[in-house]
Amino acid sequence: MKGAKGKGTAKRDALKPVDDKITVLVTNVNHYSFRKVGKRKAPAKAVGKSKAKGGKAAKDPNKPKRPPSAFFVFLEEFRQTFKKENPTIKAVSAVGKAGGEKWKSLTAAEKAPYEAKAAKRKSEYEKQMNAYNKKQESDVEDDESDKSKSEVDEESAQVSALFRS
DNA sequence: AAAGTGATTGTTGTA
DNA sequence: TACAACAATCACTTT
């Protein structure tokens, strides 16, 4: 009975806390209203990672993944630091909590570099999406013999994008 | 063996 | 406009 998870079938958060901090910034923010005060996710979607069963959606290795937010960029670095100071702690939950707490303690100026990097990532994402969409159009139907040429051309574009930075 | 889970915040995509 | 879903990570859990 380790019962580490407890819920078991609970997808990601089922019922997340979010009850004490959110109210604060809601008052003045008219643009974005409430940040989803209450539940984050209701349906039980399989995320699409696996599935790979008779279906067709998902399972697109070429599909570019969403660009990491500034917080995630910060997390990448934070994880290393956290791991060094806490080599024994490897739980994602521990790093996530510590990272979130630290992130909030950072000032806008300190977040700036991370946001800049995130913006850059987004730029690349758009570029890759462009290539991905283009591929989709060509991929709908056609002869696979010509596909090789297309793939090579697209890869070159992506590689070039990476070098541009 | 391989996919899923947990925990964080931000951004993207969709209705 | 507002919400749902997903992005990385890694040991453990489940099928």
Q: Backbone phi, then psi, for A5, in 5-degree steps?
A: -85, -45
- Tokens standing for A129? 């999406």
Closest residue (CA to C1') to nucleotide C1 in the complex: A32
pLDDT by residue for chain A (165 residues), tens only, comes to 433 333 333 333 333 343 333 333 333 333 333 334 433 443 434 454 444 443 444 466 678 899 999 999 999 999 999 999 998 888 999 999 999 999 999 999 999 999 999 999 999 999 888 888 777 666 654 434 344 444 444 444 444 444 334
Cα(A27)–Cα(A33) distance, integer angstroms: 8
Q: Is residue A25's beta carbon less than 7 angstroms from any atom in nucleic acid strand C?
A: no
Could you tell me the distance in Å between the CA of residue A130 and the C1' of nucleotide B15? 24
Q: Is residue A67's beta carbon less than 7 angstroms from any atom in nucleic acid strand B?
A: yes
Closest residue (CA to C1') to nucleotide B7 in the complex: A93
Is A103:A71 a contact under the CB 8 Å cutoff?
A: yes
Q: Is residue A1's beta carbon less than 7 angstroms from any atom in nucleic acid strand C?
A: no
